[in-house]
Amino acid sequence: SSTLFVSGLCRWPGCGAVSEDFPSFLKHLQSEHGRCDRSLAQWRVQQDIVQCLETQLVLEKQKLFAMQLHLQRSENQHSDSSDSDGNFCLNLLIFLTAEGRLRLVPQPPAVPAPNRRNQRRRRSAVTDTPTHPGPGDRPDRPDRPDHLVQSLECYQHANIRPPYTYAYMIRWSIMDSPEKQRTLNEIYNWFTTKFFYFRNNTATWKNAVRHNLSLHKCFVRVEGGKGAVWTVDETEYQRRKGQK
């Protein structure tokens, strides 16, 4: 699939391997991402991400719709107040989803629910066109792994385990720092700030972080005046990545 092969890079979550051409990519796809427990787990996580983003899109559309109606109401504030209020309450209660099905918006307690049985259902005039992000930055850029950034809001608010290796996220954490170094506690804080999953699950993931820091030679511990910090040997990281 060309969706998984962009600008010579494999776009499978957490991969980013380079292929010279599409046939080479297909060989990589079969050998590294064939049907196995790991690939199926990553597929399920990707499915959860999409569902989360679709839910977030509905909420954002509801917000946009309510803002639009508020501005329209303000513009027509000198018109018939009773008709205006009735239409406003009804419109706030009804939201048209992309598939054309009506979805109710939670009603504020202070606003009585109108009798929708005698009301005509209204369809939104907004065209619901899905937006597909472009390739963006290379995923192996140390300061911005774009395929993770694109879903960051979803990860921040949904209890979904990111389908990326600890080494990948540790590196991102360190390279995300202005000084390109972090203490162990700063790495922990970065994980809990970026991901809902690490804020609301058991702390066993901290053991995995420490294990990966000690296991991989690309993570270098440096003693400093304020204590030990961790840095990334980018050459070693790319060499290790190329061996996979």
Asked, for residue 132, whether it belongs to a domain, the answer is no
Domain that holds residue 185: 162-242
Q: Which pLDDT does position 158 carry in this prediction?
A: 74
Query: What CATH number is given to the structural domain containing 234?
Result: 1.10.10.10
Asked, for residue 178, whether it belongs to a domain, the answer is yes
Asked, for residue 168, whether it belongs to a domain, the answer is yes
Q: Which pLDDT does position 161 carry in this prediction?
A: 79
Tokens of residue 6, six digits: 């962009």
Q: Which pLDDT does position 1 carry in this prediction?
A: 54
Asked, for residue 38, whether it belongs to a domain, the answer is no
Indicate the pTM of the whole model.
Answer: 0.43
Asked, for residue 52, whether it belongs to a domain, the answer is no
Asked, for residue 66, whether it belongs to a domain, the answer is no
Overall domain count for the chain: 1
Asked, for residue 174, whether it belongs to a domain, the answer is yes
Q: Which pLDDT does position 173 carry in this prediction?
A: 93
Contact 28, 36 (CB under 8 A): no
Kindly give, in sequence order, each residue whose CB lies less than 8 Å from that of residue 91, ignoring residues fewer than 6 positions away: 65, 69, 122
pLDDT mean by block of 10 residues, the chain; 244 residues: 84 88 91 87 83 80 80 69 49 42 38 43 35 35 44 71 86 92 94 88 86 92 85 87 66
